[in-house]
Each structure stands twice: as C-alpha cells, then as structure tokens.
C-alpha cells in the first residue's frame, strides 16, 4: 500500500530511539498517523513542527497498519519556538479540533479551511477565522448551526441571537423578550465586516457552547488550555492596540 498526499502537521511524538510518530491532517486521506524513521533527530525535526504544510508519502504492507511516512516540508507556518504566543496557541488549538475527527476519514473542506486559517494566525483577522473554523467543525461533526434566517420569522435581516436549544439564528425583535436566555450572534458571522472585542468574545462563546455540549462533553473531554490562551492573547492584543490608538 502506498499513497502520496499533501498534509498539515498536527503533531508528533518520539517513538523508540530516534523515530517519531507523525500525525497529519491530509487533503485526501483525513487525519492520518505514520512513523517517520529518524523523525526524532535534528535533521527531520524542523519538518515535523505543528502547522507545517508537508508532502507526505505513506507506505505500509496492509492498509490497517500504522505505516511509514516520508515527509518533505513545503511550507512553514511559524509554529516554532520563535513564534508568538498567539500563533503557538492557535496551532495547538486547531490541531486539537482536528483530533475530534475520526482517523482516516477524508474531510477535504476541513483541510482547506485549516490551511486558510493557518495563513491568518499572525494577522489581525486571526480570531474571526478561528471562530469560523470552529463553526465549520460543528458542521463536519454533524451539529451545524443554522444562522441564515430567523427561526421565528424566517427573515434574514437583523439577526442578533442564537437559540441554545435549536442552534438557529433569532432576529433582534423576535429575541428581545428572551435575550437573557439566548446566545449573541456576532456581526462577522451574519455578513457584516469587521469585528469588535465584544464580537470576538461572543463568537467564541457561541461556538464554545455548542462544541462543549454536542462534541466534548459526550466524549468526556474539555477544551485544552490552548483555546483559552489564544482567546486571552487575542483580546489582550486588541485592548493594547486600542489603548495606544492602534484602532479596533
């Protein structure tokens, strides 16, 4: 058995004396593990950094075997010791989200979205992209939210809330009597450009609520520290820029 695919490194761990087990999110073969001979050595370690885009050749005698990887770095996404905390937290959190998917189950849309959000991690728009990625993960896992129109009126305007029961959007007027029981829908998820500090916090609260209820809690899991660290770093950077006159 052999295939060649493009993949994004999710992580690796030492295996034996000098080898490593590499975990990739591949374009056509889903989340896939394999052994890299010599992967624990200084020569190959840089290519196995989380967030890197690589060309991977996987070989095994049988399809169900762990198999061996030959990996060549194609693109570095700065998830190294020299990267900023936002990037490090972001890459770690994105990898944890991908691990919610079954092994070897192709999810090409997730791969494309992961590649896109990694390109944004050092930018001002990083937080909004991560929220959208979490939203897409809910869809891929079978718990997608319906944010296109109001659950009560059917209208697609003035959408401001999300029902925690149905996962459907609710308009401002329809939701006002129950606003304390509803989740806020940030403007950047309903078509508006830009995102405030409040929008970012509301976005993570929204996706976090449904990920925890539908995905993590049934598996006995919780969010890792990387998500909390990413959110705190992003919001802290926004506050610092605002205080020094650097904009939103």
- Write the CATH number for 53: 2.40.50.140
Domain that holds residue 239: 85-147+185-243
Q: For residue 129, count other CB atoms closer than 10 A to its CB.
A: 20
The predicted pLDDT at position 76 comes to 83
The predicted pLDDT at position 238 comes to 63
16 and 97, same domain (yes or no): no
Q: Of the residues 75, 99, 126, which one is the last residue of a structural domain?
A: 75
Q: Of the residues 75, 110, 135, which one is the last residue of a structural domain?
A: 75
28 and 59, same domain (yes or no): yes
The predicted pLDDT at position 81 comes to 47
Spatial CB neighbours of 47, under 8 Å, sequence gap ≥ 6:
9, 54, 71, 72, 73
- Is residue 231 a part of any domain in this protein? yes
The predicted pLDDT at position 79 comes to 53
15 and 117, same domain (yes or no): no
- Is residue 168 a part of any domain in this protein? no
- Is residue 46 a part of any domain in this protein? yes
Residue 237: closest CA among 117, 134, 115, 90: 90
- Is residue 201 a part of any domain in this protein? yes
Question: What pLDDT digit, counting tens, does each position of 42-87 carry?
Answer: 889 889 999 999 999 999 999 999 999 999 999 886 555 456 889 9
Residue 102 pLDDT level (bands cut at 50, 70, 90): very high
The predicted pLDDT at position 248 comes to 43
How many independent structural domains does the chain possess?
2
19 and 67, same domain (yes or no): yes
139 and 42, same domain (yes or no): no
Question: What pLDDT digit, counting tens, does each position of 167-188 carry?
Answer: 999 999 999 999 999 999 999 9
Question: What pLDDT digit, counting tens, does each position of 8-25 carry?
Answer: 999 999 998 899 999 999
122 and 234, same domain (yes or no): yes
Question: What pLDDT digit, counting tens, does each position of 215-246 carry?
Answer: 999 999 999 999 999 999 999 866 555 444 44
Instruction: Give mean pLDDT, residues 28-38.
Output: 97
Residue 38 pLDDT exceeds 70: yes
- Is residue 45 a part of any domain in this protein? yes
68 and 89, same domain (yes or no): no
């Amino acid at each position: 058995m052999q295939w060649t695919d493009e993949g994004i490194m999710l992580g690796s761990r030492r295996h034996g004396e000098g080898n490593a087990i590499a975990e990739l999110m591949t374009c056509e073969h889903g989340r896939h593990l394999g052994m890299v001979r010599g992967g624990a050595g200084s020569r190959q370690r840089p290519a196995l950094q989380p967030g890197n885009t690589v060309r991977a050749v996987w070989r095994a005698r049988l399809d169900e075997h762990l198999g061996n990887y030959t990996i060549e770095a194609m693109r570095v996404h700065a998830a190294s010791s020299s990267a900023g905390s936002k990037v490090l937290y972001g890459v770690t959190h994105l990898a944890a989200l991908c691990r919610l998917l079954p092994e070897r189950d192709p999810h090409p849309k997730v791969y494309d979205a992961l590649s896109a959000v990694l390109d944004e991690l050092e930018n001002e728009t990083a937080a909004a992209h991560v929220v959208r990625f979490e939203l897409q993960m809910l869809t891929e896992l079978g718990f997608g939210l319906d944010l296109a129109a109001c659950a009560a009126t059917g209208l697609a305007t003035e959408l401001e809330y999300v029902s925690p029961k149905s996962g459907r959007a609710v308009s401002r007027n329809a939701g006002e009597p129950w606003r304390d029981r509803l989740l806020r829908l940030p403007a950047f998820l309903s078509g508006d450009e830009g995102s405030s500090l409040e929008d970012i916090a509301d976005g993570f609260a929204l996706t976090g609520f449904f990920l925890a209820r539908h995905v993590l809690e049934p598996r006995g899991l919780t969010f890792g520290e990387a998500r909390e660290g990413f959110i705190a770093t992003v919001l802290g950077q926004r506050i610092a820029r605002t205080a020094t006159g650097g904009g939103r």
